[in-house]
Amino acid sequence: MATLLEVYYNKKLDSDHKMETGSLNPAQMWEYQELLYRIEVLSVCQMLIKSSPKSTDTTQLVPHYQIMDAYLETLMNERKNGADKELPPDFCETALDSLRRIADDNRKRFSSFTPGNDNEAYKKEVFATLQTVLTAWIQYRQTHTYINTGVSQ
């Protein structure tokens, strides 16, 4: 089964072809820019996982966490334009509130995080956090610009 990032890449290739042939209509242009944005966000999150320090030393973990936390905060505050007109007005706000609660819960978890003796503990937590946050983020983004991926999200 393809990852969401792979699905987005394939949709991008299709849109690239439509652009080359001049058959990308305005709605597809809007979806295309959203697709590029989501690909970038998912790629950055992959980088955050891969760059997670394999350590129990909090002096190495804290700077990485601060970068991740700042990035996640940015995701909740940028690109709020283009809410899907077919959805009730409060859907977008509800999805954003849910995303904020998840991010806040993860902040609380990390504030008392202790890796113990496991050098992989922090990386596992980063992965779990990003998986949870990105699920909510994708749902939030779908309230702005719906992208049909052919899989339930």
Q: What is the mean predicted confidence (pLDDT) over 73-98?
A: 79
pTM, rounded to two decimals: 0.88
Residue 150 — very low, low, confident or very high, per pLDDT cuts 50/70/90? confident
3 state SS for 37-97: HHHHHHHHHHHHHHCCCCCCCHHHHHHHHHHHHHHHHHHHHCCCCCCCCCCCHHHHHHHHH
Domain ranges of the chain: 4-144
Q: What is the pLDDT of residues 91-110, one digit of tens each?
A: 888 999 999 999 999 999 88
Q: What's residue 88's pLDDT? A: 72
Mean pLDDT rounded to a whole number for the chain: 89
Q: What is the pLDDT of residues 18-38, one digit of tens each?
A: 989 988 898 888 899 999 999
